Amino acid sequence: MNRLILCVTVVAVMMTASAALALDKAGLIGKWQLVERAQDKDGKPCPFVGEKIEFTADGKMISPNMPMPFKYKVNPTPAESEAAIAKNPELKGTEIMLAMMGNSQGDWSKAPIAYGVELKGKQLIMKVSGYSPSLYKKLK
């Protein structure tokens, strides 16, 4: 009986810890304003982040600097994350968000853009390989 209680407790703790580590998609949804722009080592701004960005519940990422809305995916599968990190080793140890052109069909493991992201309440940090992190604040 004690073993069963211990096993159930361990599984519950592991499930809670794993859920806490996953990116909160619901917290991401909404409009965000850039506070600090990503730059490369020469001070050039990152073209993959915009002054304003909106994440929709149906998986669209919209920004005035994008030619069309992008599709995004948070909490990719382990294989998708591994593929993104293989192409962007700088993102290892971060939560991964994948993005591709809105009309693209296909395999998320081949997504052309990968972000390392961290969501802390009303602050969003987005990292693209080769650039410093961008910082956003959530708008009402």
Tens-digit pLDDT profile for the chain (140 aa)? 544 343 333 333 333 333 334 678 889 999 999 999 999 999 999 988 889 999 999 999 999 888 888 999 999 999 999 999 999 999 999 999 999 987 667 789 889 999 999 999 899 999 999 999 999 999 97
C-alpha span between 140 and 137 (Å, rounded): 10
Q: What is the pLDDT of residue 12?
A: 36
- Would you list the domain boundaries of the chain? 23-138
Looking at the domain that runs over 23-138, which CATH code has it been given? 2.40.128
Q: What is the pLDDT of residue 20?
A: 38
Handedness of CA 66, 70, 75, 81 (dihedral sign): negative
Long-range contacts of 47-56 (CB under 8 A, 24+ apart): 48/113, 48/115, 48/128, 48/131, 49/126, 49/128, 49/134, 53/136, 54/30, 55/28, 55/29, 55/30, 56/29
